[in-house]
Structures are given as C-alpha cells and as structure tokens.
Amino acid sequence: MVNYPNKLNRRLISNKTETQVTDFANRGMSFETAINATNDYYLSRGLAVIHKKPTPVQIVKVDYPRRSRAKIVEAYFRHASTTDYSGVYRGYYIDFEAKETRQKNSFPLKNFHQHQIDHMAHVLEQQGICFVLLHFSISQQTFLLPAKSLIAFYTEVKGQKSMPLDYIKKHGYPIEQGAFPQIPYLDIIEKKFVRR
C-alpha cells in the first residue's frame, strides 16, 4: 500500500523542478515493481482492482517436515498461458502483459508466446480491454500498445523478430512516468478504450 503523504508531497514538489526525480529507474525500481506499485496505488484509492498473477510453477515434489509447513523441494517454471496482469476497472475487464527491452529502436517479439497472443485474441472477442505495456529501459520510454495492434503485427509479419519503435509509436500511446502512480496507464484506458 502506498501511504506516505510526506514523501508524496516531497516527490510532487520535486517533480515540478526536476522531472528525472520521478523516474522509477532512478529510484532503483524495476519496471515490474513500478507497475505493481501503480496497481497498489489504484487499489488503495479505490480506482481499480488489478493484480499480477502468480508465476506459474509445476510442483513435482513436496516435503512435509514435522512441526513445520510444507516445503516444495522440486518444481519447475512453466510458460504462462495467459497474460501477467488482470483485473477490473469501473466494470471493465482489464488484461495486459508488461515487458521491457534494452534495445533502442525495436521490441523483440520473443517476449511474447503464441499462447499469450491467442489469449489476447480471446479476451478481445469477449470485449475485454487488452494491451501490452512496453518499456524501453535505455531511453526510459513506456508505451501502451493495444492488443489488436500487437496481434496484427505478430500475425501479419510472421518471421519478423522484432517490432519497430515506429510501429509502436504509430499504433500505441506514450505513458508519461509520474510520481504517484508511477505508470498511470489507466489515464489512457479512460481516454481511449472506455465506451461512453
């Protein structure tokens, strides 16, 4: 939960003079941590209920030591069959994946599996709001790209290994990093996705 009014004020004030201060990377935060903090902010303000799903793990062997809790001693990571984040905002189903790259001018498609692309297509068929948050860590730019545009690129340009930054700029929306929340992606959802 984000609940530090003094720190918040300090950051909001410094935000006006030094924009770099609000950059989550400069505050030692990873992109994922910044998204989770954003979701905590939305939850604590009653704005949305959006959670990261647990990492899928295939559990093979569990020990039950006496007087202590069950201990998993053999397990393996599984590929996610859906996206990492989902939840509800004003009655709308929200579903997204967040990825970052150190490349400068394009986003590697190996970040997305066919299963996830299929899942996004299913969500769109059910009228869910679905997108990806793409972060370029060198330039510290973040974009919201609608799933429709990701699916179109992924499907139509089979064999391409990465998606050019120009394509992302053309079909997506830049997200200005803020102090609280760090990655205010709901602003774009509210303006561009929600049916009136």
* Residue ranges binding a second copy (CB under 8 A): 43, 46, 48-49, 51, 53-57, 59, 69-78, 81-82, 86-95, 119, 122-123, 125-128
**Cβ at position 185, least distance to a second copy in Å:** 16
**Cβ at position 47, least distance to a second copy in Å:** 8
In the complex with a second copy, the residue whose CB is nearer, 93 or 190, is 93
**Separation between Cα atoms, residue 119 and residue 134, nearest integer Å:** 18
**Separation between Cα atoms, residue 42 and residue 178, nearest integer Å:** 13
**Cβ at position 80, least distance to a second copy in Å:** 8
**Separation between Cα atoms, residue 174 and residue 118, nearest integer Å:** 25
Residue 175 DSSP SS3: strand
In the complex with a second copy, the residue whose CB is nearer, 1 or 158, is 1
**Separation between Cα atoms, residue 37 and residue 31, nearest integer Å:** 10
**Cβ at position 123, least distance to a second copy in Å:** 6
**Separation between Cα atoms, residue 166 and residue 164, nearest integer Å:** 5
**Cβ at position 191, least distance to a second copy in Å:** 18
In the complex with a second copy, the residue whose CB is nearer, 48 or 145, is 48
In the complex with a second copy, the residue whose CB is nearer, 22 or 39, is 39
In the complex with a second copy, the residue whose CB is nearer, 119 or 135, is 119
**Separation between Cα atoms, residue 104 and residue 138, nearest integer Å:** 7
Task: Check if the beta carbon of residue 186 is closer than 8 Å to that of residue 42.
Answer: yes
